[in-house]
Chains A and B, each alone.
Chain A
Amino acid sequence: MTKQEVADIINGFLVDEFEVDAASITPDAPLKETLDLDSLDYVDLVVVIENNFGVKLTGDDFKSINTFDEFYNFIIDKVSKK
């Protein structure tokens, strides 16, 4: 999977399912502030990532992710280790 493919999938569900403004999603944008998600939303994010990439994240994983770019890289790394 290329980084662009991963980014397209993530951006797609963030816009469609999490109702995030597409224009606010840039590689350097801060993940937590941009998504404005509460603790329940992270539960749903874990589900949608598993459904799309077949990898399981935990709430703790998000603590080390600051930007969208880091988010894409984190998923790429997880998928490559499947």
Chain B
Amino acid sequence: MNRRVVITGTGLYSCLGVGLDAVRESLYKGKSGIVFDKVRKEMGFRSALTGYVPEPDLTKALHRRQRVGLSEEAKYAYVATVEAMQQAALDIDYFDKNIAGILYGNDSSAKAVIESIDVVREKKDTTLLGSGSIFQSMNCTVTMNLSTIFKLKGINFTISAACASGSHSIGLGYLLIKMGLQDMVVCGGAQEINPESMTSFDGLSAFSIRESDPTKASRPFDKDRDGLIPSGGAATLIIESLESAQKRGAKILGEIIGYGFSSNGEHISNPNVEGQVRSLDMAIKQAGIQTKDVDYINAHATSTPIGDKFEAQALYQFFGDHTPVSSTKSMTGHECWMAGASEIIYSLLMMHNDFIAPNINFENPDEDSAKLDIVATTREAKIDCFLSNSFGFGGTNSTLIIKKFAP
């Protein structure tokens, strides 16, 4: 079976704004969501920079039993999923009466784990942790909770693939629908934003220390980049077979036409060009298009010296110099487990509003980025097809290609 797979709902809980309209506005204006968090400095962080989202208050939306198991990132995912369901014209009753699955990217629930261990160390009694601790602490906190709340009855598990988690969740959902094994899957990625979750990452000296100017600190592809900025929130996409969408009369936001993946099989934290090119090549071949058909590339580029260098080399090797490229992480920071999903939604917003969001803070190229068409300021452009890269620790690579829907 080889079914067409379309996107019919998107939802965001992002440092660029509340709701899709606000995020579209931020993307167009090149607005940064990065702040200085003094708590991190007090904790001994090398860098106090972070993207910021407030923790949502769900007391009116959910009853106690539904809330107690929600980790911070699961709360973000809940809000993003409600928005995606609204856009897709879906409700819990639909999920209760049909078979829809959930595949969501998440690779930590550090705060919940730390808090539970703090209680046990203080009280020396595990029965005083409360019932929510286990459901908050497991990596599958998002899929466990959302599948229960929304009465999802299809496939149900979490994808843990570092900073490519969100992208792989969409790719795997796409494959299941394409093969005829599912009609609809709730996909996405969630990322906790608390300091505790980022201590070890900060300890690798991976973060930018341009603390005097937070909104200028994330500068993918720029010659003077000095590291990434952690960020978070959640992004949800409802994807389904074309038949399912048409039967429901749903508005189609885009069609997923290619999913490439690869593993570098080399260094645990350093990327390589060959692995990325294999992922790009698989996606392009699967989509049945040529590189010239891609109108925009949403790069993974996180603003680290080595990561952006390798991606620029891979993109130049594969696409040459003619395809516009930007990294929305210049505005959002690195949304890690969420990024691969949120960046598909950011790119969809560009596709539907005829612009390419800027790679802000790209002031001077280095020898590799100079060979690419990096979009430094907002560009009016028709996008019929875009490609999004996501790479993660351990050398996991994911590439998605989305096309404007044409019956």
Contact = CB atoms under 8 A, between A and B. Distances in A.
B125 A56 contact: yes
Contacts of B68: 40, 44
B130 interface: yes
B128 A19 contact: no
A35 B151 CA distance: 24
A25 interface: no
Contact of A17 (B64, B123, B125): B64
Interface in A23-82: 38, 40-41, 43-44, 46-47, 50, 56, 58
A38 to B, nearest CB: 7
A44 B125 contact: no
B65 interface: yes
Contact of A47 (B63, B64, B130): B130
B375 interface: no
A58 B125 CA distance: 12
A56 B125 CA distance: 10
B127 interface: yes
A49 to B, nearest CB: 10
B131 interface: yes
B65 A38 contact: yes
A34 to B, nearest CB: 15
Contacts of B125: 56
Most buried by B among A38, A41, A43, A58: A43
A43 B64 contact: no
A30 B341 CA distance: 49
A56 to B, nearest CB: 7
A46 B128 contact: yes
B65 A43 contact: no
A47 B128 contact: yes
B129 interface: yes
B218 to A, nearest CB: 40
A44 B68 CA distance: 9
A19 B125 CA distance: 26
Contacts of A38: 65
Contacts of A17: 64
A43 B63 contact: no
Contacts of B127: 43, 46-47, 56, 58
* Chain A CB within 10 A, most for which of B64, B68, B131: B131
Contacts of B128: 46-47, 50, 56
B130 A44 contact: yes
A54 to B, nearest CB: 11
A39 to B, nearest CB: 8
Contact of B65 (A40, A47, A56): A40
Interface string B122-152: 0101011111100000000000000000000
A5 to B, nearest CB: 23
Nearest to A58: B127
B131 A19 contact: no
Interface string A1-35: 00000000000000001110000000000000000
Contact of A41 (B123, B129, B131): B131
A14 B303 CA distance: 49
Nearest to B123: A50
B117 to A, nearest CB: 16
B67 to A, nearest CB: 10
B131 A40 contact: yes
18 contacts: A17-B64, A38-B65, A40-B65, A40-B68, A41-B65, A41-B131, A43-B127, A43-B131, A44-B68, A44-B131, A44-B132, A46-B128, A47-B129, A50-B123, A50-B128, A56-B125, A56-B128, A58-B127
Nearest first, the 9 A-B pairs at minimum CB distance are A40-B131, A43-B131, A47-B130, A19-B64, A44-B130, A44-B131, A47-B128, A50-B128, A46-B127
